[in-house]
Amino acid sequence: MSKERFLLWMLAGIFTFQASTFGFGVYYCARNGGLKTCPDITQTYQQTFNVMIATVLALLTGSSLREK
């Protein structure tokens, strides 16, 4: 498997994990008092996944530039 293909699969995995984690977080907060229980869910969500996505995209871009 090529490096680019692996990184694209990794990015797809991150998006899938991100959607499922956010869905579980929203479900948990809705069942336990709403935003009173989890007031900073969106901030936590952004901080957690921005680094993962940026890293994979940087690796994908870097490996793409090296081959040209």
Encoded amino acid at 22, one letter: F
pLDDT bin (cut points 50, 70, 90) of residue 30 is confident
* Rounded average pLDDT over 57-64: 74
- Is residue 68, in this structure, part of any structural domain at all? no
**Looking at the 3D structure of the chain, how many domains does it have?**
1
- The answer to whether residues 53 and 1 touch, using CB atoms and an 8 Å cutoff, is no
Q: How far apart are CA 8 and CA 29, in angstroms?
A: 31
- Is residue 54, in this structure, part of any structural domain at all? yes
Domain that holds residue 28: 3-63
For the segment 31-43, what is each residue's pLDDT rounded down to a tens digit?
888 777 777 777 7
Helices (H), 1-68: 3-31, 41-67
